[in-house]
Amino acid sequence: MNELLTRLSEQQTASFMLVLARVSPLFLLAPVFSSRMLPARARGIAAVALAIGMAPLATRGRPVPLGGADLGGLVVKEILVGLAFAFAVGATIAAVSAAGSFLDTAIGFSYGSVIDPITGAQSQVLSQLYGLVGVLIFIAIGGDAWVVQGLARTYDLVPLDAMPSIPDLVGGAQHAFVGIFGSALEIAAPVLLAVIVTDAAFGLVSRVVPQLNVFAVGMPAKIAVGLLIMGVSLPFVGGWIGDQVEQSVSSALQALKVAG
């Protein structure tokens, strides 16, 4: 009896470690979960709580290998699966922040920078603004619940004792990375076009009236035009983020389904 209880305890501990290995990458890459605004202790408690809640769903009565080499290999596999899923979801908010960086350079706000409270890194003004707006929209549409539900579904596609295909995981991560820049251009396109047209207009004015100090007049005008178009286009980013989060979760699950 004692031997049976000991074995059950070892199985539960090993299962918890494996689930925690898949959950942990969310708190490194996924939006909201990885935010520096959340204390490290709070993120750690949330990771442990998610792992405890998902452990019965992940095991489903299947025995987990308790050997050191087998268990270590499964831990590495779980980390890779979690990283692939979290990276695909985090690419959406990364695209929003990249769009802000494009606009900082185009409008001229890249001259000054502040510390981004989400990532803790040095960031420009509009990049930080777009990142905060993206996170707020992500929370408002229930993106955190989608991420947790999507992570739970990964156990249907890649169980604890199954090994995914590494090329498929790498291909999915590459697809998400490539999509960051295209998505950023989609978000920033209206403002970028307006700023380019404004620059071209002041370029023509400088040729017609060389005495005019175009830099002194053009910079405030370009900032005003950029902020105006940004204020008009930013509300439409909410629907885009909702579609992209849903698509990114579906793409990650599809990559794992192919891998499984």
Structure confidence by residue, pLDDT tens digits, 70-89? 777 888 888 888 888 888 88
> Which segments of the chain are extended strands (E)?
113-115, 122-124
Percent of the chain scoring above 70 in pLDDT: 83
Whether 195 shows a pLDDT value over 60: the answer reads yes
Whether 6 shows a pLDDT value over 70: the answer reads no
Each residue of 104-150: pLDDT tens digit?
A: 777 777 655 555 555 555 557 787 888 888 888 888 888 888 888 88
| The residue to which tokens 């579609």 are assigned | 243
Q: Which of 49, 47, 63, 79 is nearest to 15 (CA)?
A: 63
Higher pLDDT, 243 or 193: 193
H or E stretch at 239: helix 237-259
What would the DSSP string read from start to end of 117-153? TTT-SEEEHHHHHHHHHHHHHHHHTTHHHHHHHHHHH
> Which segments of 12-159 are extended strands (E)?
113-115, 122-124
**Residue 260 pLDDT class (50, 70, 90 cuts):** very low
Whether 245 shows a pLDDT value over 60: the answer reads yes
Average pLDDT, rounded, for the chain = 78
Whether 99 shows a pLDDT value over 50: the answer reads yes
pTM recorded for the entire structure: 0.76
